[in-house]
Structure 1
Amino acid sequence: MTFPAGIYAQRRVRMLGQLASDLFVLLWVVLWWFVGRATERTVDAIATPARRSGDAARQLRDQIQEAAEQTSRVPGLGAELRKPFDGAVLSLQDVISAADQQVASVERAGLLLGWLVFLIPAVLLLVIWLPVRVRFFLRARAAQRFLDAEADLDLFALRAMVAQPMHVIARISDDPVAAWRRGDREVIHALATVELRRSGLNPPPL
């Protein structure tokens, strides 16, 4: 399995570790997306009684309006007989408006809470994971450009002597600086190998 340079390490063990971490991040984000949506639906369910009240009030209002229309057709008394029905329609409209406002408030709260439940854990993990992946990508691409240009491994050997822990350098040579100065290719290759692997790259053959 091969990937574009810089995306994943060339060493199989490290590449598998990176793949596992990326898959974990993806699953983590997807999981909290579903948890956030479930939270939104749960909060939204609180508005169910208000929705039912609003629907019942609308049906009753429509029925009263129809009754008012029928009553208004009574000759001579229609206008007077209709007034109580019109008053009831206005009262029911107030009930409907209050129910709609309550439903809208609960829906906004559910949407906000759902997004917070999703974003907080997702962003916290991305803040940890993303800089590590970006640093690896930039370091690997920069190192790969030198290798693609067939640059000498001396640069990576020098970086190893500066950046690598002392016990790592000591395992390669008791006097790496002297070995580098006299052009000891085995020591230079070993130092470059350590530095290249830190960038996720395999060294060229000795």
Structure 2
Amino acid sequence: MALYARPSWQLTRQVTTDVFVVVWTGVWWLAGRALDGVIRGLASPSRAIQDAAGSMQDGFEEAARSVETVPLAGPTLRKPFDAAASGLQQVWQSAHDQVVGIEQVATMTGLLTFAIPVAIILALWLPVRIRFIRNSRATARFISTQPNLELLALRALATQPFHRLAQVSNDPLAAWRDGDEQVIDALAELELRRNGLRRPRVARLPDPPAIEGRTQPS
């Protein structure tokens, strides 16, 4: 099995496409993060209001606890401070809700900005790569032991463009039918190259040692 074709224009296209997909994914990831940051920045005024309201609420609550220690009039003096602290609590909660809402919008917008373009390019690129790998794996099974050159040649006749077939023979189909080994080898090589494979080398057995003849006694 091969992930890429053998050195050819097909390999160049595959590598270029893969690099483009990686760059495309990275660019849209950065774009999503940038947009997320911009939208989150819109929550800065609400965060400032939230912080100010929280600080003022703490101050009024501290003042309420202080005046409560005044004999007799303590509970009465505390009421205005408690009312102010309660109002500031509502302001804080409103600002907090705005911050949460803006951050949720920022997260969703950034995610969609990244996911939609990447999903589109993956839907176009991934099936092509998977199909190439599956074809390469299937072809590798035919050459794992004894290369089935005739089948590979027939496959080449069905898949290769006409200008490449014409480079092999003026009539490659007739040559295949006639069992022309040279044409069959060339067609099989085209199919192997298309799937990123090489024909396995068949180990050649060494020649048996020569047996010296024995001289018959006269």
Instruction: Tell me if TM exceeds 0.5.
Output: yes
- Say if 2:57 and 2:85, in contact at 8 Å, map to a contact too: yes
Distance 1:15 1:168, change over 3 A: closer
Partner of 1:185: 181
1:14-46 superposed Cα distances (whole Å, 9 cap, x missing partner): 334322321221121112111111111100010
Distance (whole Å) between structure 1 residues aligned to residue 10 and residue 168 of structure 2? 22
Decide whether the 8 Å contact of 2:144 with 2:200 is kept in 1. Answer: no
Q: Secondary structure at the match of 1:150?
A: coil
Q: Does 1:33 align with 2:58?
A: no
What's the C-alpha RMSD, in Å, of the aligned pairs? 1.8
1:49-101 deviations in Å (ceiling 9; x for gaps): 00000100010000111111111111010011111111111100000110000
Distance in 2, matches of 1:170 and 1:24, equals: 33
Closer, same or farther: CA 110–61 of 1 in aligned 2, 3 Å: same
Q: Structure 1: which 5+ runs fail to align?
A: none
Q: 1:134 aligns with which of 130, 137, 140?
A: 130
Alignment of 1:1-206 (within 5 A): 5-11=1-7, 13-203=9-199
- 8 Å CA contact retained: 2:35, 2:106: yes
Provide closer, same or farther for how the CA distance between residues 123 and 106 of structure 1 changes in structure 2, counting only shifts above 3 A: same
TM-score by length of structure 2 reads 0.85
Partners of 1:23 and 1:33 lie apart in 2 by 15
What TM-score does the superposition give when structure 1 sets the normalisation length? 0.89
Instruction: State the SS of the aligned residue for 1:74.
Output: coil
Bigger share in helix: 1
Aligned mates of 1:171, 1:22 — CA distance in 2? 30
Where 1:34 maps in the other structure, the secondary structure is helix
Contact 1:11–1:202 (8 Å) recurs in 2: no
For 1:171 and 1:16, how far apart are their aligned partners in 2? 21
Measured in 2, the distance between the counterparts of 1:144 and 1:198 equals: 12
The answer to whether the 8 Å contact 1:196/1:203 transfers is yes
> What is the Cα deviation at residue 178 of structure 1?
3.2
> How many residues were matched structurally?
201
Give the distance between the partners of 1:163 and 1:18, measured in 2 at CA.
18
Report percent identity of matched pairs.
Answer: 43
The structure whose Rg is larger is 2
**In 2, Cα distance between equivalents of 1:121 and 1:100:** 32
Query: Does structure 2 conserve the Cα–Cα contact (< 8 Å) formed by 1:50 and 1:100?
Result: yes
- Gap runs ≥5 in structure 2: 202-218
Is the contact made by 1:72 and 1:81 (CA closer than 8 Å) also made in structure 2? yes
Q: The residue matched to 1:122 in structure 2 has which SS?
A: helix
**Structure 1 position 12, deviation (Å):** 5.2
